[in-house]
Amino acid sequence: MQKIRIGIAGYGNLGRGVQASLAQNPDMELAGVFSRRALDAQQVGAPCMALDAAKDYRDQIDVMILCGGSAHDLPQQTPELAQWFNTVDSFDNHSKIPEHFAAVDQVAKAANTVALVAIGWDPGLFSLNRLLGEAVLPEGKTYTFWGKGLSQGHSDAIRRVAGVAAGVQYTLPDTAAMDAVRRGEAPALTMYNSHRRECFVEAEEGADRAKIEHEIKTMPGYFANYDTTVHFIDRAELDKNHAGMGHGGFVIRSGTTGEGTHQVTEFALKLGSNPEFTSSVLVAYARAAFVMRQMGQTGAKTLFDVAPGWLSPKPAATLRKELL
Amino acid sequence: MQKIRIGIAGYGNLGRGVQASLAQNPDMELAGVFSRRALDAQQVGAPCMALDAAKDYRDQIDVMILCGGSAHDLPQQTPELAQWFNTVDSFDNHSKIPEHFAAVDQVAKAANTVALVAIGWDPGLFSLNRLLGEAVLPEGKTYTFWGKGLSQGHSDAIRRVAGVAAGVQYTLPDTAAMDAVRRGEAPALTMYNSHRRECFVEAEEGADRAKIEHEIKTMPGYFANYDTTVHFIDRAELDKNHAGMGHGGFVIRSGTTGEGTHQVTEFALKLGSNPEFTSSVLVAYARAAFVMRQMGQTGAKTLFDVAPGWLSPKPAATLRKELL
């Protein structure tokens, strides 16, 4: 059988994760890596091309997986590349999804391509579980908890505090809040009272640690109103214990049926590597994009439009026999 | 907007659960209950018709939800009713799904109806998570744990033991096995070493309790090879504490990405009522069956063929804005 030919656009953590994931999926092959930088094909282990010249390869790629960032790359790259390719991207700026979807949809419909947007785990598998929870238990509340995971934005904020040499911040779900939800208490939670923030900070020599701690804990928009802990550690410990890219979280639907019968659905992720997991989701949905295009579909799509069977390389009859 | 008109075929726990669930879904309405028994329409609170006469109502029902049993009712009823209606059933005899699917598919294709089979939570939402886990993390193992929940078959087996007046059996997942899976140890589990069995037994007066306990614990096919606990209690306690219909379980995918990075996905259900939850799933998928027929689809389908968006009454743009 012909393999699905995948292109990677952008070769950072996510692009390398897609490459690793493709090696786990024998029905797909990496046809080329497209980058704005000049890459060494031998080092990459795949043909490397200039991103600007991508359209010249449109007959050699079935699905292009976009591995750029949501702030600057994808709003420009997805509409550009959807002219020539079926695409999958991990656009994760929740509030701008409708706008991104509309821009991509117009291009993809005109070009007869399928463009899956906002694929990953949040937005992504978490969104899918928010939808399932609400559809199956219409009377109830949905809770999303994130972590334990490193937050890039909050880590950056710490590093801007005077006297801080380096630092990272973890977002953690409040376990007492999660347990209350699981017991069906349906508490009124905000981000503030359902998550904790834990900071690991290397102070500059001679810096006033009490002042740093106070400045972090009271920082508006980032730490004020949160239960925040600040640990001072040295560079060696920071490099050794806080360089990982683990993440995760929980989507819990707490609902009632009949005469107030309590029902709970819960989806949880414990990820050793956030970018590698996101990449794996992108690759599974690239298979779906290929299937959807073969079915004659066109335009922008999200996970909500993807039947689960299209994600698997196995024939429908095998799925029914083995997994149903 | 025209409501989706739902029929219920069979009015036991599941049928009553569907009726209760429809009351939570304002885009749907109960058009009639079809039964082999003569039902009192006033008591039921809906028009009641003879199951034999169902086809006379084919212009008044958009989707018929079949609430009979998998052993005797559904193998006959689903092919029969799929001639006249779009249908949803909860056929749950895993090993016979391919056979049931084929029989229903033939009828539904000829009749231009959509027949969703094997809908519920296992088979059902658990199957969906087994598929997702495997598609996203192709290198890994999937584990399904059931419970805590009452098993009808095992409860019946207890009650056949001489000296037993009444009794129930709970299947429980082994928490040590679950924790090993969550830690990524990928243990080789069988049903025997991943689940415990707990029995609550009312002994007949003067019966030999040690003998009853021994007979239960060594019963081949049911309890032998399991970690089984037997508690003797009286009828009052049995009625008070063991009449519920709670159930639940876990689907865990433990996989690796990249250079052995450990990744875990987990889906869990904690159900106050097994039939009421299954009914709620059936109702959400009845909405999907209606959508699929409107799209022009025909034939037998499973959850693997259903895009998540079709389960929700909300328009796609609203779903993208609110839930993605």
Q: Name which of A108, A96, A129 is nearest A254 in CA terms.
A: A129
Whether B135 and chain A come into contact, CB under 8 Å, resolves to yes
Q: What is the distance in angstroms between the Cα of B209 and the nearest Cα belonging to chain A?
A: 36
Give the torsion sign (CA, A83, A84, A86, A88): negative
- Three-state DSSP at A255 gives strand
Residue whose token pair is 């953690």? A172
Whether pLDDT at B172 is above 90: yes
The span from the CA of B190 to the CA of B237, in Å, is 33
Interface subset of B 254-313, CB within 8 angstroms of A: 257-259, 261-273, 276-277, 279-281, 284, 287, 302-309, 311-312
> Cβ contact (<8 Å) for B270 and A266?
yes
Q: What is the DSSP letter of B245?
A: B
For A70, A106, B170, the CA distances from A83, given in Å and listed in that order, are 19, 10, 57
Q: What is the DSSP letter of A71?
A: T
Comparing CB atoms, the residue among A97, A271, A307 nearest residue B304 is A307
If one counts every other C-beta atom within 10 angstroms of the C-beta of residue B105, the result is 18
Buried b (16+ CB within 10 A) or exposed e, B6-19: bbbbbbebbbbbbb
Whether pLDDT at A1 is above 80: no
Comparing CB atoms, the residue among B97, B279, B312 nearest residue A320 is B97
The span from the CA of B293 to the CA of A284, in Å, is 27
Whether pLDDT at B289 is above 80: yes
Which pLDDT does position B243 carry in this prediction?
82
Which pLDDT does position A30 carry in this prediction?
98
Q: What is the distance in angstroms between the Cα of B226 and the nearest Cα belonging to chain A?
A: 25
Q: At B111, list the tokens.
A: 């009749």
The span from the CA of B231 to the CA of B243, in Å, is 16
Which pLDDT does position A186 carry in this prediction?
84
Which pLDDT does position A253 carry in this prediction?
97
Strands B28-35 and B4-9: parallel
Whether A43 and chain B come into contact, CB under 8 Å, resolves to no
For B58, B168, B211, B229, the CA distances from B199, given in Å and listed in that order, are 46, 6, 15, 6
> Cβ contact (<8 Å) for A130 and B284?
no
Give the torsion sign (CA, B69, B70, B76, B82): positive
Q: Are B129 and B267 within 8 A, CB to CB? A: yes
Strands B86-89 and B63-66: parallel
Whether pLDDT at B244 is above 90: no
Which pLDDT does position B221 carry in this prediction?
86
Given pLDDT bands bounded at 50, 70 and 90, which one contains residue A244? confident
ipTM of the complex: 0.95
Residues in chain B closer than 8 A to A94 (CB atoms): 324
Alpha-carbon radius of gyration of chain B: 22
CA-nearest residue to B102 within chain A is A317
Q: At B200, list the tokens.
A: 């609550």
User: pLDDT tens for residues A69-112?
Assistant: 998 999 999 999 999 999 999 999 999 999 999 999 999 999 99
User: pLDDT tens for residues B12-36?
Assistant: 999 999 999 999 999 999 999 999 9
User: pLDDT tens for residues B121-152?
Assistant: 999 999 999 999 999 999 999 999 999 998 88
> Cβ contact (<8 Å) for A268 and B271?
no
Please state, rounded to an integer, the average pLDDT across all residues of chain A.
96
Bridge partners (DSSP) listed for residue B49:
B34
Q: What is the distance in angstroms between the Cα of B223 and the nearest Cα belonging to chain A?
A: 26
Percent of the residues in chain A that have a pLDDT greater than 70, as a whole number? 100
Residues in chain A closer than 8 A to B119 (CB atoms): none
Which pLDDT does position A191 carry in this prediction?
85
Which pLDDT does position B15 carry in this prediction?
97
Q: Are B9 and B81 within 8 A, CB to CB? A: yes
Strands B63-66 and B4-9: parallel
Residues in chain A closer than 8 A to B127 (CB atoms): 323-324
Which pLDDT does position B191 carry in this prediction?
85
Ranges A106-110, B160-164, B187-191, B259-263: which has the least confidence: B187-191
DSSP H helices, chain B, are 13-22, 41-44, 74-81, 97-111, 125-136, 152-159, 175-182, 191-194, 209-217, 235-241, 274-294, 316-322
Q: CB neighbours of B114 closer than 8 A, spacing ≥ 6?
A: B86, B87, B108, B289, B292, B293, B297, B298, B299, B301
The span from the CA of B252 to the CA of B183, in Å, is 11
